[in-house]
Every structure is written in C-alpha cells, then in structure tokens.
Structure 1
Amino acid sequence: MDARALRWYFDFVSPFAYLQWPRIRALRQARAVTLVPILFAAVLDARGQKGPAEIPGKREFTYRHVLWQARRAGVPLRFPPAHPFNPLPALRLAIAAGCGEAAVDAVFDWIWAQGHAADDPAALRPLAERLGLDEQAPASAPVKAALRANTEAALAAGVFGVPTLALGPHLFWGNDAHDFALAVLDDPGLLDEPEMRRLAALPVGAARRP
C-alpha cells in the first residue's frame, strides 16, 4: 500500500462515522482521501467481536455519549427509528451513486441528521430519487460485488472497526483518533519515536481463556 495514501473505511450504521464525517470532508479539502464504504457486521464476524450496540449497558452509554459529542461539536443529530439497523441498502445506495462526497453526505444526512429509516430500499426510495438513481441500481450485481470487495480489502488492511482512517499502512480507529491521525500526517516520524516503536512490540503479560 502507498505509504501516502489516505483511505476512510466507514459504515452508515456507525454514529461515530457520522460524527467524523465533517472532519473527513475538511481533510479532503487539502488531501485526497478515498471513501470506502464497508459492512461493519462482516468485520465484527471476521474479528470475533461484538459491536457496542450488542452489549447491554454499553449500548445505552454509547448512544448518550454520541448525542453529547454531537451537541458539543455543533453537529445535528437525530437517531434513526431503530439501531442497530441493516445498513446494506444504504451502503449499496452510496456505491450505486458513485460514492462521491455529495452522495455520502446525502446518506449520512438522511439517517443521522434527519433521523430517517435506512434499512430497506423502500425507506430509501425518496433519497434514491433525489440522487437520480434507478430503483434497481443499488441491487445490481456490480454494486454488491463492490461492497464485498471493499470489505475484503478493509480486512486485508487490518481494519477492526469503523470508522477507520488509514494513512498508508497505519490505522486510526474512531472519531476520537482523528487528531492523532492529523498529527502523524504533519509529522510522519511520530510513529517512529522509540516509545511508539516499543509499544508496537509490547509483550502480552496475560490473556483471558476463550
């Protein structure tokens, strides 16, 4: 992978991806950032993990924390009718629309700013029409194949969660890691500092039994 390449792996199901999206848009004003929609559920399955919304207690905390962060950042936020939801229709819609900034922005706005459902093609029909898409376009074989390829590429790159901003081979997971990523962009030698390198090879002292 090109050490200078920037890729943003995201899934519309993630409110943290929505919170990071304005910062990614700002970054794209100065740097080329490839937008890569992926299926978060497939990543969780591959890594043997649960999502925050699948853990009682953590689910409620996460939603409140997201709302607090949005208010602090001045980002409009209204949760969709149910969460987690099936994001496949929204992901395929964005890919069918070319996955440019305008299309991604429209989908995020539909789900997280306006609070609309996005878990089936019928719910997304008004948005698809606004984007000028044929009703069958998101369900086409090439679109489905593109989403699978994106997700496989994310797994091959080591992605374990969304959103993830990749700076070449280096992964920065979560909206709260955005400033860390910018610091490394400004000073690539940051990750080569002795303590950073030591942490990359830190031994495991104890492990839980499976």
Structure 2
Amino acid sequence: MEKIIEFYWDLGSTNSYFALHLIKPVAKKHGATVVPHPFNLGYVFRKQNYVLMEEPKVKLRSRKIDLMRWAKRYNLPFQMPKKFPMKTSPALRGALVMRRLGKEWEYMEKIFAAYWERNDASVGELDGLKPIATDLGVDPAEFERLVESDQIRHELIFETDGGLERGVFGVPTFFVGEEMFWGKDRMEFIDDELTSPTPPRVRRPATPAAV
C-alpha cells in the first residue's frame, strides 16, 4: 500500500518553509508521497480574531533567534523578509493551478525560496508569481486567468475548510492516515508513524441506557 503524507502549508508561515525541506528525507526513507494542501492561514487568523504580530516583543525576538538556529542546524539559507506578514492567497491559488499541471511541488519550492531566502515579497502578488510560472514552462497569461478564476478560488476555500474540519488549526500540519502532527519539529513522530502505523480507530457502539 502506498504511504501518503499530507502536508498543510501556507507561504506566510516560517515553519512551513522548514517543514517543506525537512519532510523530504522522511518521505524518501519510507518511499512515501507527500500530498500538499494549501491552507489560507490569513483567513483562519481572521476567523479566530488572532493578530500575528500582536505578541510580546520578547517572544517575537526569541522566535527569530530560534528560527536562525534551525536554519544553521539544517544548513538552509533562511532569512526573515523585510515585508512580514503578507497576503498569500494568490500564491496559494497558484499552487492549485500548478497541481493541475503536475508542477505543484516545484512551484512551492520556488515561491518559498523567493520569499524566505531572497527576501522577495513580490510572490505575494500575481505580478511576482507570473515569472515563476514562466520558469516552470507555464504561459503566464493562462496562469493568471486560472489563479483569478472562481473555480480555483473555491478550491482554496475547499482546501482550507477541509483542513479546519479535520482539526488543522495552524501550519505546518501533517497527516499520516488519521494521525495529525503539527509543527516542523514533528518529523521523528512522522517517521515513527510511517514505521509502525497506529491501528485504525474503531468506533464502539453506544452503550444502551439503563432502564
């Protein structure tokens, strides 16, 4: 049976950047396929009345230091972009367009590298995404048409709402079968789950009320 790792992500998530790289050796080890799910974190934050940067300064400072430690440990060219946070829905819709063309993962790697390695916030808008489409051999005008289409917009809503229904509250979130793993630091647990899967949950019939 093919092993599947589902991966909920958002371009605006620092930890999704690391997860994108760290999940690859785990998948390779087990011969698993990573199935990405774009997840509109901005929409979810608004729904939850959560404002990303309205946290204690000491926490934000510590988080940045911690991210640079992760970058050093895994030899990744990560840097905090000057424009943060940013709107990511066009980029997320772009991933769904690229899914149709069999280029979803390549596209994800390019937009994450642009934003989190080269400080290129233009990938938050269509004008910055179209050159990436061109690099991947996709007509930029057709790419723009599809990204702006109602069908792709509805697909992103479907992906995000579907994640919420499964219990996703942030990204990166992974699923192996029914087991959910949240965060870039859960790779060992995912490895364990792929090695020895948790038995499927059995729904027991309700106990009849005493009469």
TM range (shorter): 0.7 to 0.9
Map 1:95-134 → 2, pairs under 5 A: 95-98=96-99, 100-117=104-121, 118-131=123-136, 132=138, 133-134=140-141
Structure 1 residue 87 corresponds to structure 2 residue 88: yes
Structure 1 residue 17 corresponds to structure 2 residue 7: no
Match of 1:154 among 158, 163, 173: 163
Percent of pairs with identical residues = 26
**Alpha-carbon distance change, 125 to 60 in structure 1, aligned in 2, over 3 angstroms:** farther
What TM-score comes out, normalization by structure 2 length? 0.79
Q: Any gaps of 5 or more consecutive residues in structure 1?
A: 193-210
Secondary structure of 2:181's partner? strand
Map 1:128-143 → 2, pairs under 5 A: 128-131=133-136, 132=138, 133-134=140-141, 135-143=144-152
**Letter aligned with residue 196 of structure 2:** D
For the aligned residue pairs, the C-alpha RMSD in angstroms reads 2.4
**Alpha-carbon distance change, 51 to 166 in structure 1, aligned in 2, over 3 angstroms:** farther
Secondary structure of 2:94's partner? helix
8 Å Cα contact 2:10-2:171 kept in structure 1: yes
Counterpart of 2:50?
50
| CA–CA separation in structure 2 for the residues paired with 1:51 and 1:163 | 18
8 Å Cα contact 1:94-1:107 kept in structure 2: no
Q: Any gaps of 5 or more consecutive residues in structure 2?
A: 202-211
**Alpha-carbon distance change, 142 to 49 in structure 1, aligned in 2, over 3 angstroms:** same
Counterpart of 1:188?
197
**Letter aligned with residue 56 of structure 2:** P
Greater CA radius of gyration, 1 or 2? 2
